[in-house]
Structure 1
Amino acid sequence: MNKAVSVYFISAFFISAPSLAGVPVDSATTSVELNATNIQNAYDVSADTVATATSVSENEVVSSSLRALLSDMKQFRAGFEQTVVDAQQNVVHEAQGTLTMTRPNKLRWETTFPDETLLVADGEAVWNVDTFVEQVTVLSQANAIKDNPIVLLTSTDDGTWSKFSISQMNSGISADNSTSVINNDTALQSYQITPKEEGGQIVTLTLTFNQDNELTSLNMLDAQQQISTLVFNNIETRFPVSADTFSVDIPDSFIVDDQR
């Protein structure tokens, strides 16, 4: 499997009051100063608590909005064009292919250019088929994408969603422009997903939907500051799913490396 697929789809997303200890305080003004300090501390804590509660509330609202969009996307199939650029904005990889997803937890990724590759997530395992070397690598799906925000595309699990922070962006462009999505349509909605636990391969995932609530692009910033952009075409959200869509037929000549 090419590097871009392995990197992006198998990611290997106190408040304290100042102390008065050791500070000389004049005995005549101690009571007044302590009372003033306590009042200010109480105000600061209250303000921070309100700000935190507001932030949590806003995150919950945005998260619910994104979940509603994805819950309507029980099926998704589209062609894609992928471009990967490095931190200096040099194009390091381009690909074309088809992405098929169904909820919950199933995904099929096929590339037709520049090479033919296949990755299938069947809900339990991820099957990576490398036809060039005639080898299939099998990974536990839960371990393969547990810290990757891409998991939210097909996950319906509350615990999984709680591991990520979600914000809604104007015009599909993040605040630092690190995950820019070209947007000439004011009806587009963009959501940026960030793992709450740091250290994962994917730093942010941005999903952009059109006026028909269809996923039109997907944008990932990784730990090496590479940006992968997938732009979708020929989008389908209602189609018959054949029995072999999320299964892999392994030729007898292929080597199977089962790492589950």
Structure 2
Amino acid sequence: MNKHMSGRGVRALAAAALLLATAGAARADAVESLRDFVREARTGRAAFTQTVTAPDGAKKKTSSGSFEFARPNRFRFEYRKPYEQLIVADGQKVWIFDADLQQASARPLAQALGSTPAALLAGGALDKDFNLSNLPSAQGLDWVQATPRDKEAAFQSLRVGFRGRALAAIEIVDSFGQHSRLEFSEMATNVAVPPESFRFVPPKGVAVVE
């Protein structure tokens, strides 16, 4: 078990990552903004802060770092605080590298995402995979509710929040009721992202589990 993510957490985060790859500038109708951006966004990068709250709301963990994506199915979460951790999807595998433990693990992308519809989001199948609906504005954001049609998905729902035309937050509720909120800043889309960002080679001496 790594410091930030369990297996379910990785699947939920991967789902969020791929949803982020479809999300971007928003108008008053946030659902239509998602649909529009599926056709337009190819790459992106942002800084993020993640807060994970236990189902009872009593325990919270906060971490931060940077995020990059390139459709389809490539993303990079680089945690810097409070611990260093790297999660990279290269289009075929999802790698998790824990610098403190000097351990890396990998699994096929499809297996990491399980049966969740997130694996298809970068291809633009939003309405096929999710029930989408606009939610009332709250906390200064316009929200979209994305409920997976797959009843065995690793998460109950995703909410995507926009501030003006910028993606501001993604909220995930997993199948056990754990709540994760990712808040984004310095979001830039359709920017040059080096292919090397989505490649991971285990450092020498690191234990690898596949």
Range class of TM-score, shorter chain: 0.7 to 0.9
**Structure 2 counterparts to residues 213-224 of structure 1, below 5 A:** 214-224=166-176
Verify the 8 A CA contact 1:149 1:202 in the aligned structure 2. Answer: no
Please state which structure has a larger fraction of its residues in strand.
2
Count of aligned pairs between the two proteins: 195
C-alpha distance 100-5 of structure 1, shift in aligned 2 (>3 A): farther
- SS of the equivalent of 1:235 reads strand
Structure 1 counterpart of 2:84, which letter?
A: E
**Residue 32 of structure 2 corresponds to residue 2 of structure 1:** no
Kindly provide the CA deviation profile for residues 109-143 of structure 1, in whole angstroms up to 9, marking residues without a partner as x.
01111100000011111011122222211111112
Verify the 8 A CA contact 1:118 1:129 in the aligned structure 2. Answer: yes
Kindly provide the CA deviation profile for residues 172-202 of structure 1, in whole angstroms up to 9, marking residues without a partner as x.
xxxxxxxxxx522xxx432111121223321
Structure 2 counterpart of 1:252, which letter?
A: K
Verify the 8 A CA contact 1:4 1:93 in the aligned structure 2. Answer: no
* Equivalent in the alignment of 1:183: 139
**Residue 119 of structure 2 corresponds to residue 167 of structure 1:** no
* Equivalent in the alignment of 2:152: 199
Q: 2:191 aligns with which of 214, 227, 239?
A: 239
CA positional deviation for 1:233:
1.0
- SS of the equivalent of 1:9 reads helix
Verify the 8 A CA contact 2:134 2:143 in the aligned structure 1. Answer: yes
Root-mean-square deviation over aligned CA pairs: 2.6
Structure 2 distance, partners of 1:225, 1:252, is 38
Please state which structure has a larger fraction of its residues in helix.
1
* Equivalent in the alignment of 2:209: 257
Verify the 8 A CA contact 2:159 2:170 in the aligned structure 1. Answer: yes
**Structure 2 counterparts to residues 1-260 of structure 1, below 5 A:** 1-4=2-5, 6-11=7-12, 65-148=33-116, 150-151=118-119, 155-158=122-125, 162-171=128-137, 182-184=138-140, 188-212=141-165, 214-258=166-210
Verify the 8 A CA contact 1:150 1:205 in the aligned structure 2. Answer: no
Kindly provide the CA deviation profile for residues 47-103 of structure 1, in whole angstroms up to 9, marking residues without a partner as x.
xxxxxxxxxxxxxx9866522134333222111111111222223311011111111
Query: Whose radius of gyration is greater, 1 or 2?
Result: 1
Verify the 8 A CA contact 1:95 1:111 in the aligned structure 2. Answer: yes
Ranges in structure 1 where 5+ consecutive residues have no aligned partner: 14-60, 172-181
Verify the 8 A CA contact 1:110 1:118 in the aligned structure 2. Answer: yes
If asked which structure has higher relative contact order (CA below 8 Å, sep 6+), I would say: 2
Structure 2 distance, partners of 1:149, 1:2, is 26
Ranges in structure 2 where 5+ consecutive residues have no aligned partner: 16-28
- State TM-score, norm by structure 2: 0.81
